[in-house]
Amino acid sequence: MAKLTKTSTPGIFRAHKKGCDRKGRCDCPYTVITRHRGKPKKETVATLGKAREVKGRRDSGDHAPTPTIRFGTYYEEWIDTYGGRTSQGLSETTRDEYRRVAVKWLLPKWETWKLIAVEPKDVRGLLVEMRDAGASTSEMKKTRTAGSAMYGTATEEDGIVRSNPFLGVRIPRPLEVEKDEEVDEKAKAMSREELGWLLAALPDQHRLFFEFLTHSGLRISEAAGLRWEHVDLTQRQLRVREQVYRGKRKKLKSKTGRRDLPLSPLMTDRLLTHRARTYEGEKASVFPSKGKLRKTKDGFAFPFDSKALARDVLIPTRGALGMDWVTFHTFRHTCASLLFAEGRNIRQISDWLGHADPAFTLRTYVHLLDSGVGDADFFDTEVAAKGTPRATQGPKKDGSQPTIETENLAA
C-alpha cells in the first residue's frame, strides 16, 4: 500500500509508490481525503490539478464519485449497501455469494482498473479464463450476475458509467473432451420401474420423504423449508412459501416459486399419519431430521441436514441398486416426467415446478397448452404404491428401462 505524505493543500496527499525515493519529480498519484456523513472518503487521481478539482467539488457538497474511480474502490462502497433490484431486496446469503465470486474472480482481474475501463470484451475474456481454469457454468453465471448487479447500480443509480459491460455477454461453451470422457450433463429422470426399485429399497422411516419429493417436485431446499402451517390436509393442498438454504430459513428466490400444489388422497392420508407421529406445532418442520427441536426467532424448527440424509440414506441405497446417478434433484425431474407422461402441458408442468418462465420448461417438454396444474390423484399409483414393501427386486443387470432424459431444469 502506498504511503501518504502531506502536500501544501490540506486534504490532498501524495501516494508515493513502493520504492519511490521521493526525490525530484515522480509519477506517484495524489489522494484526496474528505469526510462525508462522518466517514472518510478517498479518491486517487493522477495529477495535483485533478486532486484540487476533486477537493473543490467535494468542499462544495458534491460527493458523487468521478468517472476515474477504481473498480476495487467502487466495489467496496457498493457491496455493503446494495439492496437488490426487486421488491424482495437482497438476502445476506446472496450478498455473501457476491463477495465470494468478486474476491475470487473479479477483483484479482480488475481491482486497480478504472471502473469505466472494463468493456464487454474484457468480461468475455474473464469468463473464458474461468472456463479454462475449470470453473463450472454455475460459477461463471454467478460471477456474471454479481458484476452485472454492481455495474447496474453504477449506471442506473449513480450515473458514473454509461453502460453495463456484463449485459449480453454469453457464458462460453464447455471445452471439448474426448467422446469416451464426455460427461452427460442432461438431467435424468427415473423410469417407473427404477422409481419402484429405489422407493422399495429405502428404509421405512425415510420412504415417505422421497415419495413426497417425487409427488411434489419440490427442490430439496423447499422441502426442508416446509412447515405444517404450509400443509392443508383438509383441502388437500400444499403451499410452497419458504426454503432452507445453507442452514438458514429464507424467502423463495422468485414470485413464481410461491405456488399452491394439490395433494392426492393417499398422500394426504400418509401425511396425516406422519403428522400424528411428529407434530410439534404449526411452525415445526414437516420432515424433521434427527436432532433436538430448537427455538428460532420465528418459531420452532427441526434442524434439517440434507447432507446427512444423502450420506446416510440416499447414497447407500442408490449404490446397492447400481443407480449412483440419482440425487435429490432426480426426484424433481421424475415428477416432471410423470406429469408429462400423464398428458400435462408445458405451462402446467412449469407452474407445478415453480419455473420462472414456461419457455425454460419448453426446451425439455416442447408443448405449450392451457394453464393450470390439475389434480394429483395419479401419484397414488405412480409414487406411493411403488414404495410398498412388495416391490423388492433390484434393477436387472442385462438392461433396464431407459431413463427419461431432460434438459437441465432449474435447481
Report d(CA 407, CA 363) in Å as an integer: 7
Per DSSP, which regions of 185-341 are E strands? 187-189, 231-232, 237-240, 242-245, 248-251, 259-262, 294-296, 299-301
pTM over 0.75: no
Determine the pLDDT at residue 411: 39
Mind listing the pLDDT tens digit for each residue in 12-46? Answer: 988 888 788 777 678 888 888 887 777 777 888 88
| pLDDT band at 296; cut points 50, 70, 90 | very low
How large is the average pLDDT for residues 130-156?
Answer: 92
Cell of 57: 467539488
Tell me what pLDDT residue 292 has: 46
- Among 327, 363, 329, 324, CA closest to 346: 363
Per residue in 249-283, pLDDT (tens digit) is: 888 877 888 999 999 999 999 999 999 988 888 98
What mean pLDDT is predicted for residues 48-66?
76
pLDDT score for 86: 72
Cβ atoms 34, 55 nearer than 8 A: yes
CATH topology of domain 188-406: hpI Integrase; Chain A (1.10.443)
The domain limits of the chain are: 3-63, 77-156, 188-406
What would the pLDDT profile of 206-223 be if each residue is shown by its tens digit?
A: 899 999 999 999 999 999
Task: State the pLDDT at residue 388.
Answer: 59
Cell of 27: 509519477
Residue 73 grid coordinates: 474502490
Q: What is the mean pLDDT of residues 178-191?
A: 52
CA distance 382 to 358: 25
Q: What is the mean pLDDT of residues 163-178?
A: 80
The pLDDT value recorded for residue 299 is 43
Cα gap 229→211, rounded to integer Å:
20
DSSP line for 8-19: SSTTEEEEEPTT
> Alpha-carbon distance 23 to 89, whole Å?
52
For residue range 360-411, what is the model confidence (pLDDT) as tens digits?
777 755 433 344 566 788 788 777 666 655 444 555 555 544 443 333 333 3
Q: What percent of the chain has pLDDT over 90?
A: 37
